[in-house]
Amino acid sequence: MKIMFSAGEASGDLHGAGLAGALRRLDPDIELLGMGGELMREAGVRIIYDIKNLGVIGVGEIIKKIPFFFKLRSFLVDTMAEERPDALVCIDYPGFNMRLIKKAKAAGIPVIYYILPTIWAWHKSRGETIAQYTDLAVSLFPFEAAMYRELGTNVVYGGHPLLDTVHAEWTKDKAYEAFGLDETKKTVVLMPGSRMQEVKGLFPQMLEAGRLIAEKTGNVQFIVPKATTIDRRVLQKLADTAALPIVIGEDHVYDMMNIADAAVCASGTATLETALMGLPTLLIYRVNTLTYLLSKILVHIDNIGLPNIIEGRRVMPELWQNDVTPEKIASVIVPLLTEEAAHEEARRAMLAVRDKMGEPGAVMRTGEIILEFIKEIRLHEAVQQLGEL
């Protein structure tokens, strides 16, 4: 059996790696290939295009790279024609994958979509495209599965993979030692994102906020988990200008969260990870002006953080666009470091998110669902061929 992946971001690489590992455990002889990153490569996927070169997030940035994306899509379509996988598994990255699934469908390749577009927020028409061009959709949330089912999608609820993966591996003592941090100081995790434009736009604001936080609290240190899609030198160059006690770490991000007292995090999957770790977090979101103005027209929700969407209310503070300033970031984080009651209230709010996300085992369940679906397709094709004889 052969499965091809299309994942375009660090979060997709993470989920793709987890799924690849489950598929290999279920079928050691399976062949996996596709677009992804280092984590998927380590999980046994033959990477035909490395996502390090991807990372645009705004409308303006996407327009500039349209010719590149056309070429990349053509490359993946040609690869499908050459490899003839039993299925294409698209993971998130809807701006790209929504077009790729049409090409795969036209080529007769069964399409499976994992980490579905957020039609409850915007681009509800994408749900209709998923229903038309996807043979199987695997949903992370019950409410999401219901929405897609209403549109006629063949969708199953598999649960959220982060429930299987988000946990510390080290003791706190080992983590402090491994990262070179002082256990007597308060620790703040800074997560500026997995795309270069996010990092360049948000990390300087975080660092200046860090200076203000240090002035007001005194006994504080910072750690930055390096995303697999970001060159360490970029982070280090920016951090060196800050004159702060700051460490750039690689791997063991949940051990960083486990010893932290608070986090400042770019909008995305990482906010759900901090919530699952019970880490009080501030979400920040800023894109170019054109993208933001369009999003104000198209987006139909009051919160953009997944923890807040799951809870149906704002349990994780959010700062958007022009409100993303060092002063406002510091004003949220300082009480979490200095006021025990504020910290405990925020921690409990984060842990409540986990209670609404179902049971662990989602990754293996999803692997089983995918393999069974492909076997059913193969059986159906075999019966058709026999009927034609």
Query: What is the Cα–Cα distance from 113 to 134, expressed in whole angstroms?
Result: 7
Helix (H, G, I), strand (E, B) or coil at 136: strand
Query: What is the Cα–Cα distance from 37 to 55, expressed in whole angstroms?
Result: 12
Distant-in-sequence contacts of 338-345, Cβ < 8 A, 24+ apart = 338/216, 338/217, 343/261, 343/262, 343/280
pLDDT along the chain (389 residues), means of 10: 95 94 98 96 97 63 73 96 98 94 97 92 84 97 92 95 93 97 98 91 97 96 93 94 93 97 95 97 81 54 87 94 96 98 97 88 96 94 78
- Amino acid symbol at 135: D
DSSP string across 92-132: S-HHHHHHHHHHHHHTT--EEEES---TTTS-THHHHHHHH
The predicted model scores a pTM of 0.79
Which numeric CATH code is attached to 2-159+361-388?
3.40.50.2000
Domain ranges (residues) in the chain: 2-159+361-388, 172-357
Q: What pLDDT was estimated at residue 299?
A: 59
Look up residue 184 and give its two tokens: 């007597």
Superfamily of domain 172-357: Glycogen Phosphorylase B; (3.40.50.2000)
Q: What is the pLDDT of residues 333-385, one digit of tens each?
A: 999 999 999 999 999 999 999 888 888 999 999 999 999 999 999 998 888 88
- The answer to whether 2-159+361-388 and 172-357 have equal CATH topology is yes
46 φψ region: left (φ > 0), alpha (ψ -120 to 50), beta (else) = beta
